[in-house]
Amino acid sequence: MTFVNVKPSEEFEFLNGQGHVLLIACGALAREIVDLIETNRWTAFDVACLPAKWHNTPQFIVPAIRDKIREAKGKYKSIFVLYGDCGTGGLLDKLLEEEGVERIPGPHCYAFFSGNDAFKRREDEDMTSFFLTDYLARHFDKLIWAGMGLDRHPELLPMYFGNYRKIVYIAQTRDEELAKRAMAAARRLGLDYEYRFVGYGELADEMKSRA
Amino acid sequence: MSDEGELDLRSLNDEELTQQVHDDLYDGLKEEVEEAVHILLERGWTPYKVLTEALVEGMRIVGIDFRDGILFVPEVLLAANSMKAGMAILRPLLAETGAPRLGKMVIGTVKGDIHDIGKNLVAMMMEGAGFEVINIGINNPVEKYLDAIAEHQPDILGMSALLTTTMPYMKVVIDTLKEKGMRDDYIVLVGGAPLNEEFAKAVGADAYCRDAAVAVETAKDFMKRKHNLLAASA
Ligand code: B12
C-alpha cells in the first residue's frame, strides 16, 4: 500500500503573473476562484479582481472591465470574464461582444453557483428568498447590514426586507462557522432560514473548460 | 436647557425655511420636515405650494445627487420617508383645496421581481407632481396590470424591473395590450436601474425614464401631447 504524502512543499500555491489565460472577476468570487485553482493545480490562469462592493452600484462594472480587457489584450492568450450580468442590463454582454471576450453564463452568481437551470426552475418558490453565498455570509455585516445603512438606521429594515420570507444560504463550502453567520443574519433580518449546499456549481465547470 | 445645534424653525423666514426643508429632506430628518410643513401651512401657504416648493423640490435635489453617486440607497430611503411623512400631512388638505390633477397612473413591479424602492419613489414623486397614482405593488403578472387598468382607467401604465431576468416581462405585458387592441389607449413608461432607452424601444414602451424626476417630466410631456391631440380631433 502506498501513501500519498502531501507535504507543505508539495501544496500548490496560486501565484499571479504566470498564467496565459486572464480571468477578470468580481472580488466576491476571489476566494472561490483561488481555491479552485489550487485544488485542481491549474497553471493556466492569472486573476484580476474588481471591487466586490460594486455589487450595489453596477454602473461602475462595465467601464472597469473594459479597461482591464484593453490593458490585458496582447499580454494573454485569452481572457475570460467571471461576472454575471449583475444588473448591467445587458451592457456587459454588449461590451464583451465588441471585445470578443466570453463570460460565464448567468444573470448573477446566485444562479451560476446554484446551476443556471436549477435556479430558474425554483424561481417561483424562491420569489421571496434572499440568497447568501459564502462571501455574503462572511461579509454580511459590512455589505448588507452596513451597506444598506441598517447599522445606522435599523428602522429601514421593513422597507428593504418587508417583502422577504427567508434567507437561503447557498453554501460553496461546508463551513459550520459560516452557516452560523448566515443563521445569525436571518435572525437579524427577522427571516426564516434555509441551508442548501450547492458547491462551486458552474464556476468550477467553466473554469475547468478553460484551464 | 442648551439647544446648541438645534434650530428654531419658526425663526426662519419663508425662503430660509424652504431651504431648510430641502436640507432636512436631504438629511432624512423626518420630524423636522413634518414640523416645517406645519409651519408653512400656518403661514398661509397653500398645501400645493408646500408640496411643490418645499417637498418635491427637495426630493428633486436628492434625486440628482443619487444619480451622480453622491448619495446612496439608504440616504434616498430616509429622504423618501421624510417626504412621505410630509405628504401624509398634505394629502387630505390637497383633496380639500383642489390641487391640479394632471392625470392618472397605474404603477407596479413586474412578475418575478420584488424590488420596490425605486418604483415607490416614482409613485411618490408622480403623486407630488399632481398625478393620481395607483400603486399595485410587486410581482405583478399581466392579469394584475389588466385588472388595475380596467378598474382605474389610467392615462399612464408604469412598469418597474430591477433584475435582468425580469425586465423581459415588460414585453409580455405590452404584447398582451397590443393583442387586445388596447396598447394605444395608454402611455407606457418603464424604468429600473438595468433598463435603458434601447430596451424600452425594443419592448414597445413609450419611454424609458432614468429616474423619478425624468418620469415626472416625461409623464407631463405625454399628457400635454395627449390633450393637444384630443383638442385637435375635437
Ligand atoms: C436595494 C437592492 C436590493 C434590496 C431590495 C429592497 C426593496 N424593497 O426593493 C434587497 C437587499 C432586499 C435586494 C434583494 C435582491 N437583489 Co437587489 N439590489 C438592490 C440595489 C442595491 C439597489 C436597487 C434600488 O433600490 N435602488 C434605489 C432606487 C431609488 O433606484 P432604482 O430602483 O433604480 O429606481 C429609480 C430608477 O430606476 C427609476 N425607476 C425605477 N422603477 C421605475 C418605474 C417606472 C415606471 C419609471 C418611469 C421609472 C422607474 O426611478 C427610480 C427612482 O429614481 C441594486 C443595485 C442597483 N444599484 O441597482 C441591487 C440589484 C438590483 N439586486 C440584485 C439581486 C441579484 C438581488 C437578489 C437576487 C440578491 C440576493 N442575494 O438574493 C435579491 C432579489 C430576490 C428576489 N426574489 O427578487 C442584482 C440584480 C442582478 C441582475 N442580473 O439582474 C442587483 C443589480 C445587484 C447586483 N449587482 O447584483 N436588492
A117 and A97 in a common domain:
no
pLDDT digits (tens, 9 = 90+) for A59-112: 899 999 999 999 999 999 999 999 999 999 999 999 999 999 999 999 999 999
pLDDT of residue B1: 42
Q: How many alpha carbons lie under 13 Å from residue A199 in its C-beta half-sphere?
A: 7
pLDDT of residue A6: 45
* Mean pLDDT of the A122-143 span: 96
* DSSP string for residues in A37-61: HHHHT--SEEEEEE-GGGGG-GGGH
Cβ-based neighbours of B76, under 8 Å, separated by 6 or more? B62, B63, B66, B117, B121
* Mean pLDDT of the B187-203 span: 97
pLDDT of residue B95: 82
pLDDT digits (tens, 9 = 90+) for A16-71: 999 999 999 999 999 999 999 999 999 999 999 999 988 888 889 999 999 999 99
A33 and A76 in a common domain:
yes
| Residue with more model confidence, B226 or B136 | B136
CA of A82 to the centre of ligand 1 (A): 21
pLDDT band at B231 (very low <50, low <70, confident <90, very high): confident
A59 and A135 in a common domain:
no
Q: Is B67 exposed, middle or buried (0-12, 13-18, 19+ CB in 10 A)?
A: middle
What's the domain count of chain A? Answer: 2
Tell me what ipTM this predicted complex has.
Answer: 0.89
Does A139 fall in a domain? Answer: yes
> To the nearest whole percent, how much of chain B has pLDDT over 90?
88
Does A69 fall in a domain? Answer: yes
* Mean pLDDT of the A183-205 span: 98
A43 and A69 in a common domain:
yes
* Cα distance between residue A172 and residue A150, in whole Å: 26
A154 and A141 in a common domain:
yes
A95 and A55 in a common domain:
yes
Closest B-chain CA to A85: B164
pLDDT of residue A10: 65
B162 lines ligand 1 (CB under 6 A): yes
What are the phi and psi torsion angles at B133 (to 5°)?
-120, 125
Average pLDDT, chain A: 94
What domains appear along chain B, each with residue ranges and CATH number?
A: 1-100 (1.10.1240.10), 101-234 (3.40.50.280)
pLDDT of residue B5: 58
pLDDT digits (tens, 9 = 90+) for B14-23: 999 999 999 9
What pTM, to 2 d.p., does this model score?
0.93
pLDDT band at A192 (very low <50, low <70, confident <90, very high): very high
B64 lines ligand 1 (CB under 6 A): no
Closest B-chain CA to A92: B194
